[in-house]
Amino acid sequence: MQALSNQRTTLTTIASVAMFSRGLEPEFPEAVHRQLSTLRHPAREEGPHIRDLTALPWCSIDNDDSRDLDQLTVIEPLPKGAVRVMVAVADVDALVKPGTPIDDHARYNTTSVYTSARVFHMLPERLCTDLTSLNLDEDRLALVTEMSFSDDGILTGSSIFRARVRNKAQLAYDAVSAWIEGEADLPEAALGMAGMATQLRMQDELAQKLRVLRHAQGSLEFESFQPKALFEGDHITDIRLQQHNRGRQLIEEFMIATNGCTARFLSAQGRGALRRVVRSPERWQRIIEVAQGYGVTLPRQPDGKALETFLAHQHQVDPLRFPDLSLVIVKLMGSGEYLVEQAQATPVGHFGLAVQDYMHSTAPNRRFPDLITLRLIKAALAGTEPPYSHEELHELARHCTAQEDAARKVERQLRKSEAALLLHARVGQLFDALVTGSTDRGAWVRTFDPPVEGRLSGDLPDLDVGQVVRVRLVSTSVERGFIDFELAH
């Protein structure tokens, strides 16, 4: 392999090859650049159907380095402890029209691909990080979902309309979470907006109520292994796990609520929609067997509440090994998919979230299904024909499912290459690790610091999943994302 002096370039090249090999286009074609050169400013539209909500204290909460901002949130108190929440989603369709070169590329890839070295945006960067992004102190068109909740977090009403909004505070998950939990001061970005502290407290309180209600219905709580590579310039310096904290939970709950409202809105309008579903697990018997290994008996038929109780208990008693249990259960449940569901039909639902009505609607800068949903809702609001035929929606559902799966595999492959690149100069060093898998073909381990996964080679004794071992790094392959360890004696 070439000298690894520019590690970002090395990883970007690996990512581009991986995307191309899985049927994704890493670069924009020339027609996209030509169209982009004609777009001078954000979309502008006036009229009684566009409400001016720019005076409200909107804020965005996203990753520290996110520049493609899809949604804003705001909350206000109502009598008797009730609250009203509004979620504004970027009106990408106002600038990106169906059948144009930019739309064609987005329709082909269907999603942005996120790697630590480079983000391969679904839309050109000047769009998704500027002209169609809900950027700080900029007026933008948006689709707003307004939701009313009782004092105990029950949804009592919702409506959807178009509006003009203005982001007043661009915030990050970790900083917001640290402040909510009393570990840090209010983020500097929130200090400049009067009342933002109250906004965040109220939003967090509602999000936690929604979270409790979902889990009471059987929503599953997982803790996935999500390492993120850190760079200084073009050199990778560390890998750290992303924490699922209160800031992320806040946005997650509001987005789930919004997605439910958009799904029910289209159904009430008599319109077909592209829903995101996770079916009841066909491999439930295997999930029963996994639970039995922990001394727990699950019902014979799929039962989200029982599974959530088992997972919650294991998270509490053995947090160290919970990410590995989560991964096993996620694989046995099967991945999500997009389906076309007609109005009034019995919905398939989302088993993992314990909701019947669910779709992707809150990230149209990053996911094409959300842009499809945005267009379907705008057509319903305007009383015009749907922008996609029934047959076209079915084809898009299949295509989006396949491309999203390909993108996940690319991102997973790059996480392995990032880990191999970080460790390539540390061959021979010793690490403490956890056994995460053991079969006739070998064993796999996850080191604690840095948090990376690899294969355990050589003559091995009987090893139990969850056993802590001392290992020595034997070799790495950056291109293939392979890391090999041996037991240290």
pLDDT tens digits, one per residue of 132-172: 999 999 999 999 999 999 999 999 999 999 999 999 999 99
Residue 183 main-chain phi, psi, to 5 deg: -100, -5
Residues 412 and 428 grouped into a single domain: no
Which pLDDT belongs to residue 4?
53
Say how far residue 21 (Cα) sits from the centre of its chain. Answer: 23
Residues 55 and 70 grouped into a single domain: yes
Provide the terminal-to-terminal Cα distance of the chain, rounded to the nearest Å. 31
Q: Is residue 1 part of a domain?
A: no
Residues 291 and 377 grouped into a single domain: no
Residues 94 and 220 grouped into a single domain: yes
**Helix and strand element counts for the chain (H, E):** 13, 17
Residues 182 and 144 grouped into a single domain: yes
A 10 A CB-CB count for 78 gives: 13
Residues 433 and 409 grouped into a single domain: no
Residue ranges of E strands in 372-452: 430-439, 442-447
Q: Is residue 73 part of a domain?
A: yes
Q: Side-chain half-sphere of 40: how many Cα atoms within 13 Å?
A: 0
Overall number of domains in the chain: 3
DSSP assignments along 324-343, one per residue = HHHHHHHHHH---EEEEE-T
Q: What is the pLDDT of residues 318-358, one digit of tens each?
A: 887 787 788 778 778 777 899 998 766 677 777 677 677 88
Listed in sequence order, the residues at least 6 apart from 126 whose beta carbon sits closer than 8 Å to its beta carbon are 36, 39
Residues 12 and 62 grouped into a single domain: yes
What is the pLDDT confidence band of residue 5, given thresholds at 50, 70 and 90? low
Give the DSSP H/E element, type plus range, for residue 125: helix 125-126
Q: 324 with 338: CB under 8 angstroms?
A: no
Q: 71 with 134: CB under 8 angstroms?
A: yes
In whole angstroms, give the CA distance from residue 246 to residue 349: 26
Residues 312 and 385 grouped into a single domain: no
In whole angstroms, give the CA distance from residue 296 to residue 450: 32
Domain of residue 473, residue span: 424-487
Higher pLDDT, 216 or 109: 109
Give the DSSP H/E element, type plus range, for residue 485: strand 482-487
Q: Which of 55-64, 157-166, 294-303 has the lowest mean pLDDT?
A: 294-303
Secondary structure of residue 148 in the 3-state scheme: strand
In whole angstroms, give the CA distance from residue 323 to residue 303: 21
Secondary structure of residue 120 in the 3-state scheme: strand
Which pLDDT belongs to residue 344?
67
In whole angstroms, give the CA distance from residue 283 to residue 223: 20
If you ran DSSP here, which 8-state letter would residue 467 be given?
-
Listed in sequence order, the residues at least 6 apart from 414 whose beta carbon sits closer than 8 Å to its beta carbon are 11, 14, 15, 18, 115, 116, 117, 481
Q: 47 with 58: CB under 8 angstroms?
A: no
Tokens of 118: 């480079």
Secondary structure of residue 25 in the 3-state scheme: coil
Residues 303 and 399 grouped into a single domain: no
> Is residue 325 exposed (0-12), middle (13-18) or buried (19+ Cβ within 10 Å)?
buried
Task: Fill in the amino acid letter for 86.
Answer: M
On average, the pLDDT of the chain sits at 91
Q: Is residue 2 part of a domain?
A: no
- Mean pLDDT for 273-279 is 87
Residues 130 and 215 grouped into a single domain: yes
Residues 395 and 435 grouped into a single domain: no
Place of tokens 């079915």: 394
A 10 A CB-CB count for 232 gives: 8
Handedness of CA 100, 104, 110, 114 (dihedral sign): negative
Handedness of CA 261, 265, 266, 270 (dihedral sign): positive
What is the pLDDT confidence band of residue 82, given thresholds at 50, 70 and 90? very high
Bond from prior residue into 450 cis (ω within 30 degrees of 0): yes
Task: Fill in the amino acid letter for 360.
Answer: H
Residues 177 and 238 grouped into a single domain: yes
What is the pLDDT confidence band of residue 3, given thresholds at 50, 70 and 90? very low
Q: 71 with 255: CB under 8 angstroms?
A: yes
Q: Of all residues in the chain, what percent carry a pLDDT higher than 70?
A: 97
Q: Is residue 267 part of a domain?
A: yes
Q: 211 with 221: CB under 8 angstroms?
A: no
Give the DSSP H/E element, type plus range, for residue 313: helix 304-317
In whole angstroms, give the CA distance from residue 225 to residue 78: 40
Alpha-carbon torsion angle 316, 317, 321, 327, nearest 10: -50
Place of tokens 């509004």: 86
In whole angstroms, give the CA distance from residue 309 to residue 304: 9
Pairing assessment for the beta strands 139-149 and 227-232 based on DSSP bridges? unpaired
- pTM of the predicted model as reported, rounded to 2 decimal places: 0.91
Q: Which of 44-48, 306-310, 351-355 has the lowest mean pLDDT?
A: 351-355
Q: Is residue 228 part of a domain?
A: yes
Q: What is the CATH number of the domain that holds 478?
A: 2.40.50.140
Q: What is the pLDDT of residues 106-122, one digit of tens each?
A: 999 999 999 999 999 99
- Mean pLDDT for 355-367 is 91
In whole angstroms, give the CA distance from residue 157 to residue 75: 15
